[in-house]
């Protein structure tokens, strides 16, 4: 027997938000108020935070996050809709923050609710990998390099220099 799932509008379940306009408690409230929440037996969440050092060992002072908001919201919505259709999944949310962030600040919240833990973990991983790859979000790092010099760069620019 094939069950057809109703596609729901995910407006409150995804989006780009200015720092301070969305929190972990908002994420949990959105999950609980979903009409299909009663079907959930597991919720897995990912919280991306600003780490204090680059891969090369440079000290991160702060990050600036920008986004092409209209397109980013469309892509986030599409990812959440698509992943919500997977078997056993009740709710998928991705909320990315923009603005200026210090080390330890949360940048992104991803949540997947589903029938069983075996349903939610792979979808959570896919949601994280997809938003990182597909969403037009831009990160500027302000660092102190290994020589003690302070510098800043857009991460995509640094990646292009390394290649």
> Which CATH number covers residue 77?
3.90.1170.40
Classify residue 149: in a domain, yes or no: yes
Alpha carbon distance, N-terminus to C-terminus of the chain:
50
Distance (Å, rounded) from C-alpha 113 to C-alpha 121?
A: 9
Burial profile 104-134: b = 16 or more Cβ within 10 angstroms, e = fewer: ebbbbbbbbbbeeeebbeebbebbbebbeee
Classify residue 1: in a domain, yes or no: no
* pLDDT for residue 84 is more than 70: yes
Q: How many structural domains does the chain have?
A: 1
* pLDDT for residue 110 is more than 80: yes
Q: What does the pLDDT read at residue 135?
A: 95
Domain that includes residue 17, residue range: 11-162
Mean pLDDT of the 48-68 span: 94
Residue 22's CB is within 10 A of a number of other CB atoms, namely 18
Query: Model pTM?
Result: 0.86
């Amino acid at each position: 027997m094939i069950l057809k799932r109703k596609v729901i509008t995910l407006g409150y379940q995804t989006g780009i938000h200015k720092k301070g306009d969305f929190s972990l408690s908002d994420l949990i409230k959105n999950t609980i108020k979903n009409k299909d929440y009663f079907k959930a037996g597991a919720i897995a969440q990912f919280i991306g935070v600003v780490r204090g050092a680059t891969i090369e060992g440079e000290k991160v002072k702060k990050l600036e996050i920008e986004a092409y908001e209209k397109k980013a919201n469309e892509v986030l919505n599409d990812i959440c809709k698509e992943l919500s259709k997977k078997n056993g999944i009740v709710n998928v949310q991705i909320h990315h923050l923009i603005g200026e962030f210090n080390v330890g600040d949360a940048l992104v919240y991803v949540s997947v609710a589903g029938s069983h833990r075996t349903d939610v973990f792979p979808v959570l991983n896919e949601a994280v990998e997809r938003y990182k790859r597909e969403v037009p979000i831009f990160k500027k790092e302000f660092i102190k390099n290994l020589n003690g010099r302070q510098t800043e760069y857009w991460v995509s620019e640094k990646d292009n220099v390394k290649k």
